[in-house]
Amino acid sequence: MQISMDFILDDPSEIFAGAPDILVAVGILLLGFLIGKSAQFLIQNRLKIIAKISTANTEYLLLKSLEKPLETLISIVTIYVASTSLRSLFEQKENMTNILFILVTLIAAGFVSNIISNFISRIFPVRNTRYSRSPKIVDKILVTIVYLMAILVILGHFSVDITPLIAALGILGLAVSLSLQDSVANLFAGLYLVSSSPIRVGDYIEITSEKVSGYVEDINWRETKVRTLDNTLIVLPNTKISQSVVINTSLPEKDITVSIDCKVSNKSDLDQVEKITLEVAKNLQQNTKGAVKSFEPILRYDNFEDAKVHFTIVLMAEEYMDSFQLRHEFIKALKREFGKKGIE
């Protein structure tokens, strides 16, 4: 594959005809520096304007992906033009052009990789700001493909026959897949987990068969990492998760109901018990951090046992971890109010 570089002057010193070539090179470097800073200034200003609306905007993601590669590209092209303006290096122009082509191709691959990473974060959003990175498995696979394509473009530019290489890679891939069946199975299980999204980075999950529960920290090509509430990191093969029953408390919404079973004496005034319990629940639902303010608490009597009347009160927390605090505060507040009214 051949890409023309005709946009570069045969002799850049023609711009500054009559000046010593060292001054020409310095002038080109200064000009390139000014162009780079101007481009950076324009992009950053535009990003600030778009960010006020939404950082998930397509234009924002494209400009954010372009910011660093464009700066690098301008610097490399500037150095190339300045170098070829020096008469002492003019004979090396062809070699420098080839080097420029390689660098530009790799920068373009980096730009595409940035776009892929940013859009993957948008397609597979996390459900907790603590976990801000996108699933690594998708990033790594797609970025690897992009750079392999860039290498093939570079080899094609230098008229290297890539057909034997592609055939060799195919045979190698088959041999590796046969010898690493477990790893390949984990890879495809990981792709399934990311694409179908039964679990996502930041979700709170429970796998009863493995006696594991916690927040999903990462899903990579081989395993899924889960951090438990006692801050222990558990690493599970992807096939183990794909073959197990997984309870995901963060889906379809991360709001979670909090059911609390209570008992009162069968001699108690049940209307009074219901009134006091709902008052306590509504107050906590409105004033406890992590409680869903719009939820209306529910109380239902459901059983008699040993001179006790059983009932269940239902609250709602914003996410799994908040349910512990909400339950804690409710039990304290209800015990206090029942004590004041002499309810046992």
If asked whether residues 98 and 17 sit together in one domain, one would say yes
CB 223 within 8 A of CB 237: yes
Q: pLDDT of 78-133, one tens digit each?
A: 888 888 877 777 777 788 888 888 888 888 888 888 887 777 666 555 444 454 44
Q: Are residues 270 and 182 in the same domain?
A: no
Per-residue pLDDT tens digits for 9-24: 455 445 444 456 778 7
Please give the Cα distance from 327 to 317 (Å, whole number): 9
Q: Are 286 and 211 within one domain?
A: no
Q: Which of 192, 224, 251 is the last residue of a domain?
A: 251
What is the rounded average pLDDT of the residues 279-299? 91
The fraction of the chain above a pLDDT of 70, given in percent, is 85
- With respect to residue 46, please indicate whether it lies within any of the assigned structural domains: yes
Judge whether 151 lies within some domain: no
Q: Answer yes or no: do 205 and 261 share one domain.
A: no
Same domain, 211 and 291: no
Query: Which pTM was predicted?
Result: 0.51
Largest Cα–Cα distance of the chain, in whole Å? 109
At residue 297's C-alpha, the angle toward residues 291 and 300, to 5°, is: 140
- Render 15-37 in DSSP notation, one character per residue: GGTTS-HHHHHHHHHHHHHHHHH
Q: What is the CATH number of the domain that holds 327?
A: 3.30.70.100
CA dist., res. 260 & res. 237, Å (int): 35
Angular region, 245: left φ>0, alpha ψ -120 to 50, beta rest: beta
Please give the Cα distance from 121 to 139 (Å, whole number). Answer: 9
Give the pairing type, strands 256-265 and 246-248: unpaired
Counting the structural domains of the chain, the total is: 3
Rounded to whole angstroms, the Cα distance separating 276 from 284 reads 12
Of 251, 285, 314, the one marking the end of a domain is 251
Predicted local distance difference test score (pLDDT) of residue 329: 92
The pLDDT tens digits for 194-243 are 667 788 888 888 988 888 889 888 887 778 889 998 889 999 888 888 88
Share the mean pLDDT of the chain.
80
3-class secondary structure, 319: coil
Domain-ending residue, one of 251, 277, 301:
251
The full DSSP string for 69-88 is: HHHHHHHHHHHHHHHHTSGG
Residues 281 and 193 in one domain: no
208 shares a domain with 245: yes
Considering the domain boundaries, does residue 7 fall inside one?
Answer: no
Provide the pLDDT for residue 138.
65
d(CA 68, CA 46): 15
The region that residue 309 occupies, defined by phi over 0 for left and psi between -120 and 50 for alpha, beta otherwise, is beta
pLDDT greater than 80 at residue 322: yes
Instruction: Pick left, alpha or beta for residue 18 (phi over 0 → left; psi -120 to 50 → alpha; otherwise beta).
Output: left
DSSP 135: P
Contact residues for 306 (Cβ-Cβ < 8 A; gap 6+): none
pLDDT band at 251 (very low <50, low <70, confident <90, very high): confident
- The answer to whether residues 206 and 313 belong to one domain is no
Residues 118 and 18 in one domain: yes
217, 222, 223, 224: CA torsion to nearest 10: 40
Domain region containing 43: 12-123
